[in-house]
Amino acid sequence: MTAPIADLPAGLKLAIDDVPPPDLRATLAREINDFHSRTVPHTARRFSVRIIGKDEALLGAVVGVISWEWLFIEALWVSDDLRGQGAGRRLMAEAQAYARTEGCHSAWLDTFQARPFYEAIGYEVFGQLDHFPADQTRYFMRRKLG
Q: pTM for this structure?
A: 0.81
28, with CB counted inside 10 A (0-12, 13-18, 19+), is exposed
Task: Check residue 36 and give its pLDDT.
Answer: 84
CB 121 within 8 A of CB 92: yes
Quote the pLDDT of residue 125: 98
Q: For each of the domains in the chain, give its residue range(s) and CATH number, in order of start.
A: 1-42 (no CATH), 43-144 (3.40.630.30)
pLDDT at position 142: 98
Ranges of the chain whose pLDDT falls below 50: none
